[in-house]
Chains A and B, each alone.
Chain A
Amino acid sequence: LACALVVTLAPMAQVAPSRHPQYGGTLRVEIDATVISLDPPTAPLSPSGALLQAEAVAAKREIESLLYEKVNEDGTVPNASAAGAFRISEWQPGKHLTLVANENFAGGRPFVDSVEIEMGRAARDRRVDLALARTDLAEIPPEEARQASSRGIRMTASQPDQLIALTFTDGTGAVQDVRAREALADSIDRATMVEFILQKDGEAAGGLLPQWASGTAFLFSTAADPVHAKELRAQIGTSPQIRLGYDSGDALEESIAERIVVDARESGISLTAGTIPPDRFVGPNQNARLIRLAMPSAHAGAALVSLAPTLELVAKAGLAVPSDPDAEQIFAVQQAALAGFRLVPLVWVPRVYGVSERVRDWQAPATGERWPLADVWLDAASGVAGTPEPGAPKEK
Chain B
Amino acid sequence: MAIPFLWLFCFSARAQAPTQIPAQWSNAVRTLADKIAADAGSPSALAMNLTDASSLSAADASAVYDGVLAVLRARRFSIVSPEPPGGRDTRVQVTLSENAETYIWTAEIWLAAGPDKSTERQVAIVSTPRGANAAGNESLVAVTLNRKVIWTQAAKILDFAPLNEPQTTELAILEGERVVVYRADGGNWRLDRAVPLFHSGVWRDMTGLIDPNTGNVSFFGAKCEGDVRHLEQLRCQAGGNATVPAPVITTPYGAPRADTIAIGPACASVGPMLLGAGTGDWTQADDLRAYEQNSQVHAIGQLDFTGPILVLRATADGKSARVVSRNLQTGMYEASIVSISCGN
Contact = CB atoms under 8 A, between A and B. Distances in A.
B244 to A, nearest CB: 12
A363 interface: yes
B281 A300 contact: no
A16 B279 contact: yes
B123 A331 contact: yes
A190 B56 CA distance: 29
A64 to B, nearest CB: 21
A361 B268 contact: no
Given A3-B142, A3-B343, A327-B102, A361 B282 contact: yes
B80 to A, nearest CB: 23
Interface class of chain B by DSSP:
loop
A327 B254 CA distance: 53
A111 B126 CA distance: 45
Interface string A304-335: 00000000000000000000001110010000
Given A18-B258, A328-B125, A212 B99 contact: yes
Given A6-B295, A328-B125, A215 B256 contact: no
Interface residues of A, number: 49
A392 interface: no
Contacts of A8: 298
Nearest to A10: B299
A49 to B, nearest CB: 31
Contacts of A396: none
Contacts of A109: 203-204
Contact of B101 (A7, A111, A216, A299): A299
B97 A13 contact: no
A21 B281 CA distance: 9
A7 B141 contact: yes
B49 to A, nearest CB: 14
B279 A212 contact: no
Contacts of A18: 258
A20 B254 CA distance: 16
B256 A12 contact: yes
B90 interface: no
B6 interface: no
Interface in A109-124: 109-111
Given A106-B202, A107-B202, A216-B106, A19 B280 contact: yes
B255 interface: yes
B300 interface: yes
Contact of A11 (B140, B282, B298): B298
B296 A360 contact: no
A215 B98 contact: yes
Interface residues of B, number: 59
B300 A6 contact: yes
B143 interface: yes
Given A1-B267, A3-B269, A7-B142, A216 B342 contact: no
Contacts of B295: 6
Contacts, number: 137
A2 interface: yes
A18 B291 CA distance: 20
Contacts of A2: 269, 342-343
A91 interface: no
B88 interface: no
A5 to B, nearest CB: 5
A27 to B, nearest CB: 14
A373 to B, nearest CB: 12
A219 interface: yes
A215 B127 contact: yes
Nearest to B289: A9
Contacts of B292: 6
A362 interface: yes
A12 B254 CA distance: 10
Interface in B251-284: 253-259, 267-270, 277-283
Contacts of B140: 7, 9
B142 A6 contact: yes
B39 interface: no
B66 interface: no
A215 B104 contact: yes
Contact of A327 (B100, B125, B202, B291): B125
A79 interface: no
B18 interface: no
B53 interface: yes
Given A12-B297, A216-B125, A362 B268 contact: no
Given A212-B99, A212-B100, A327-B102, A111 B298 contact: no
A326 B142 contact: no
Contacts of A211: 97, 99
A1 B268 contact: yes
A2 B300 CA distance: 13
A369 B180 CA distance: 29
A19 B343 contact: no
B212 to A, nearest CB: 22
A5, A14, A19, A328, most chain B CB atoms within 10 A: A19
B302 interface: yes
B205 interface: yes
B95 interface: yes
Contacts of B204: 21, 107-111, 374-375
B34 interface: no
Contacts of A331: 123, 125
23 contacts: A3-B142, A3-B269, A3-B343, A9-B302, A10-B299, A13-B256, A13-B279, A14-B253, A19-B282, A108-B203, A111-B204, A156-B283, A212-B100, A213-B100, A214-B104, A215-B98, A219-B108, A219-B123, A299-B101, A328-B123, A328-B125, A331-B125, A363-B283
Given A2-B342, A4-B269, A12-B291, 11 more contacts: A3-B270, A7-B140, A10-B299, A16-B255, A18-B258, A19-B258, A108-B202, A110-B204, A214-B104, A215-B104, A216-B104
Interface of A: 1-21, 106-111, 156, 211-216, 218-219, 298-300, 326-328, 331, 360-363, 374-375
